[in-house]
Structure 1
Amino acid sequence: MIRPPRLNKGDTIGIVAPASPIDTERLQRALSFFEKMGMRVRLGRHLEKTHGYLAGTDAERLADFHAMIADTQVKAIIFARGGYGTGRLAGALDYDLIRNNPKIIWGYSDITYLHTAIRQAANLVTFHGPMAVSDIADDDFDAYSAGLFHQLQEPSSLFYTESVAPLHVISDGEVTGEIVGGNLSLLVSTLGTQYEIDTAGKILLLEDIGEAPYRIDGMLNQLMLAGKLEQATGIIVGDFAKCDPPEEKPSLTLQQVFHEYFADHEGPVVSGFKIGHCMPNFSLPFGVPATLSATKKSLVIEPGVE
């Protein structure tokens, strides 16, 4: 795997919107965050475009992303937000361009499709973390989540323990492997495509938002039948925000669903990680070795930048 170069003070960050349209007022609030980090900011040419539920046409969104990749002055690409749309770009991405111009690529949620495609087709380490408009602009964006951006400036291992939030062991064990994954619904959408998520020998991260337990059940069942859960050596269950059962209808709890799918897993499965649509939002690199320990209730991740 290719680790992108670290950020230095004065470097330029590019912001593009590969999925849903942005709120321009929120964008302005996010820009000051990067300026306080000592970074310059370059905005995508079509960043404020709207095309129905998309932030511009596929061609416009793709052009912005490719322009940032090709621009030698841009050292990192921070996505503005998720929503929907990145899967529409995967088939047209220039993976040779990405591989030959390695730089930091950062986002989550709908960006999961790009994480998966880029990691598998360009062998580039990418980063799962809060985005400019959808997260950094929030009034409750916390100092802990903000501090995790420093992993881009100094290569250092990340340590997640119960000091961040309580963790629950579903299956015992300890394993070391590359972290892959992201948003559950996006991972399921890769199945049957050339960008199908590869979990063999990997530690699989799962998170989602706004899905009832029966929907989570269905998506986990699809991953299971595709062999993706069994092939993973360990599973990190991240935050599942607003995934409560429908009111006045019988339902399994989310923890019951997780237990039914993961209790007999041969490797460690731990839930409760504040990774996903939550605050704090623990950011991490995909494609680097990590150690997940159910015994120690910990996750240790190697640096994602050079």
Structure 2
Amino acid sequence: MQLALKNPRIGIAAPAGPPLDGRRLAQGLRNLEAQGLTLIRPRETYPTHGFLAGDDCARLEEFNALIARPDLDVILCVRGGYGALRLLDGLDYETAKRYPKVLVGYSDITALQLALHRRAGWPGLSGAMAAVEWPEPDDRWLEPYARLLRGETEVSLGPVDGSVPVPVVDGQAEAPLIGGNLATMTRLVGTPYMPNLAGSILFLEDVGELPYRIDALLAQLRLAGHLDNLAGAVLGQFTDAESPADRPSFTVEEVLDHYFRGAPYPVVRNWNYGHFPLKAPLPIGPRARLTVREGGASLTTLEPLLPSL
């Protein structure tokens, strides 16, 4: 399937961790070019600097150079990992306001997506990255991904892997979508980069966090008031979260139920979204309709990601 973007130029950035396999990155870039895209790369290589894809100055210079380009509508990240938080206070938010773009990525990229949404009004797309999913694109995730990046509306964001969401609280909501990686979002609490979640449909996922840590992260969001006035919640997958067999623990499902079972807004869990290849892309910013009923749930966009797409 072809992306068929109106603007074939997209920026490529590595603002967090380095690519773990140079061959997979090269294949991902070739696959993007095979889509007819022109890749704008301020850096041709991403040298490993500890757990980062280059030092902070190099990564910040790269990202701000892409922000300043009026000929781009999309910036696609190489991968997540860690390191985006170190750039937030150096981003050129004033220029970002003049040249809005869609920032594509997930995991640690959540920090950049939420900061740019809060400070510059940028939308985001929590989805496939250049060195992670793009080496082996799959039409099942590519179809909604492409439709979102083409600026279409009424895009179904439901499972692309045949899984069945689990209703937690029935209801319907129409509100802006916002979310991403739980641990990364929680690190923004108390900073000027944390968006206002009131009136939004919040979506969350994580990887490698044990149930007690997921509980602690959700408790922090709740105590900070960020779960009080949501319009809805879409809970994705919390993978690699099994507690050791010799440690007493709640399950992840029990933790999620504790925080969301009595919510006065619709809630669904087991959404096809998280740290695994075949997942539904989820946008940050546009309004969407969440419907949760006994036996299933649906999520559909009501607005384009970016009017210029």
Q: Report if TM-score (shorter chain) is over 0.5.
A: yes
Q: 1:83 to 1:162 in 2, by over 3 A?
A: closer
1:20 matched to 2:17? The reply is: yes
Moved over 3 A (4+): 6-10, 72-75, 160-164
Aligned to 1:133: 131
Tell me how far 1:207 sits from its aligned partner. 0.5
Tell me how far 1:205 sits from its aligned partner. 0.7
Q: Is the 8 A contact 1:10 1:38 kept in 2?
A: no
The alignment yields a C-alpha RMSD, in angstroms, of 1.9
Aligned to 2:223: 225
Aligned to 1:177: 175
TM-score (norm 1): 0.92
Name the CA distance, whole Å, in 2 between partners of 1:251 and 1:81. Answer: 32
Name the CA distance, whole Å, in 2 between partners of 1:29 and 1:133. Answer: 8
Deviates more, 1:222-231 or 1:145-154: 145-154
Aligned to 2:40: 42
From 95, 98, 111, the counterpart of 1:97: 95
Aligned to 2:138: 142
1:304 matched to 2:305? The reply is: yes
Gaps of 5+ in 2: none
Q: Deviations over 1:152-194 (max 9, x none)?
A: 1252322134674201111121111111111000111001111
Q: 1:181 to 1:194 in 2, by over 3 A?
A: same
Name the CA distance, whole Å, in 2 between partners of 1:291 and 1:72. Answer: 31
Aligned to 1:3: none
Aligned to 2:109: 111
3-state secondary structure, aligned to 1:74: coil
Deviates more, 1:67-76 or 1:224-233: 67-76
Deviates more, 1:174-183 or 1:45-54: 45-54
Aligned to 1:156: 153
Tell me how far 1:110 sits from its aligned partner. 0.3
Name the CA distance, whole Å, in 1 between partners of 2:137 and 2:37. Answer: 19
3-state secondary structure, aligned to 2:15: coil
The alignment-based identity, stated in percent, is: 36
3-state secondary structure, aligned to 2:242: coil
3-state secondary structure, aligned to 1:208: strand
Gaps of 5+ in 1: 1-5
Aligned to 1:242: 240
Q: 1:154 to 1:92 in 2, by over 3 A?
A: closer
Aligned to 2:290: 292
Q: 1:217 to 1:142 in 2, by over 3 A?
A: same
Aligned to 1:274: 272
Tell me how far 1:280 sits from its aligned partner. 1.8
Q: Tell me the matched-pair count.
A: 299
Name the CA distance, whole Å, in 2 between partners of 1:210 and 1:67. Answer: 33
Name the CA distance, whole Å, in 2 between partners of 1:291 and 1:47. Answer: 41
Name the CA distance, whole Å, in 2 between partners of 1:46 and 1:192. Answer: 36
